[in-house]
A and B are shown apart, each in its own frame.
Chain A
Amino acid sequence: MENINYAIETNDLSIHYGSFTAVKGVNMKVERQKITAIIGPSGCGKSTLLRAFNRMNDFVPGCHVTGKLLLDNQNLYGKDVDPVEVRRKIGMVFQKPNPFPKSIYENIAWGARINGFKGKMDELVEQSLRSAALWDEVKDKLQQSAYALSGGQQQRLCIARTIAIQPEIILMDEPASALDPISTLRIEELMQELKKNYTIIIVTHNMQQAARASDYTAMMMIDDQRAGGVIEFDDTKTIFTRPGDKRTEDYVTGRFG
């Protein structure tokens, strides 16, 4: 176990909204260049936890985080840490594709430009679109509006936009739940390509998706105080063939609730 390279670690991480604790005491080590899925019933804090990974919850009034979130041994919730810099290193792809109302080209170039990218922009755009398995479909219409693309293409554009910033970690919040089955499988195939260079953490309601696409799976569940927590974290094969926790067994076999 000592040789495993972890991208991110949480140390007793809890997320509170005012006096209410939404997520409690998470201790997770996320392996680098692997896909880690977070599953669990609605309201168990999956998205809240995912958003804590790149400080998206900072935007929520009254939300505060206790414990530690370590990236390269640095606590991302430390006093001197710039949340914008955190989000550059840890990108996020959302449930609904949310391209900017700009051209396909500008969707990639804009963020890179803001982040002070000094290289050849055309190359970055092509490289990012290739990495997101979108280049062949859009190379002849880069100046067209991103809104002209299909939902699945828009989602891959959002992934390309995230890659263009060259993050270390990509967070995905239900990235395929608004897509048809073929587009969903494309995103999953793409994840397998992306993990060669990036660490991916994905929240999904779709257990088959977690089983198909991830290397590790974290199972979340709320306790009697309604605080969410990770009740089991193991390799995906174990979670779906012989989970250790009865609650995980009930959830993955569809006998929960």
Chain B
Amino acid sequence: MTRKAFDTEIQNIKDEVILLGSMVEHALLGSVEALKKRDIKAAEAIIAEDKAINKKRFDLEDQLVTLIARQQPMAQDLRLLASTLEVVSELERMGDYAKGIANINVRMGDEKLLKPLIDIPRMANKGVDMLHRALTAYATNDAEAAAAIPVEDDEVDALYNQIYRELMVFVIEDAKNIERANWLLWVAHNLERFADRVTNLCERTVYIVKGTFGEIKQSDDEFWKDQNK
């Protein structure tokens, strides 16, 4: 080993990425929990925390660009650093979904939830579980584990589909439900997109380890085509 200092910096960046990921996980679970309890203070705290997520993303980008300039990485080092630029931007966007859910909570004001939240927390838990394992695969260079995760996105999509139908029933029953149904639909949509982005992270890990690009899983378009049959 002749690049001890470089290896230390790479490890440091990976550790920071995991930290950023855990901030995002915390924000997403927190935003749904706050919604469930209609806790507006907690929602406002999530919105404030998003600034820390954004800052960490930019700090990491700065570190990555500096490391690329100074160390001129090649091969797997290059794939790792270039991919990590993408990973941190994905994580930041995933944080925005948590913020989006918190914003809906704030905007709902005194309104009651249209229905008790059951499938929405399930979507959040599933998405966070996928994210957690995707980041573990990233940190440990485990391409096989990364490639196995995206198929689970179908479960999240199925829950979304179920929530959508359920909410439509409320709307059909009484047009006055439209706004409250719409809020929850947006929450579910944020969660659906959150899980989609886990797939992008997994694709990065496969590229880092194997050097091959490609979509691991059929796109959601295919999923919806199957659902509508």
Contacts and interface: CB of A to CB of B under 8 A. Distances in A.
B3 A241 contact: no
A233 to B, nearest CB: 16
Nearest to B77: A253
Interface residues of B, number: 15
Given A254-B6, A255-B1, A255-B3, A242 B74 contact: no
Contacts of A207: 74
Interface of B: 1-3, 6, 72-79, 210-212
A240 interface: yes
A199 B2 CA distance: 35
Interface residues of A, number: 15
A252 B75 contact: yes
Contacts, number: 38
A114 B80 CA distance: 55
B72 A242 contact: no
Interface of A: 207-208, 211, 240-243, 248-249, 252-257
13 contacts: A208-B72, A241-B211, A242-B76, A242-B212, A243-B75, A248-B75, A249-B75, A249-B76, A252-B74, A253-B73, A253-B75, A254-B3, A254-B6
Given A207-B74, A208-B72, A241-B211, A253 B3 contact: yes
Contacts of A249: 75-76
Contacts of B75: 240-243, 248-249, 252-253
Contacts of A255: 1-3
B72 to A, nearest CB: 6
Contacts of A240: 74-75, 78
Q: Nearest 4 pairs between A and B by C-beta?
A: A242-B211, A252-B74, A254-B3, A253-B77
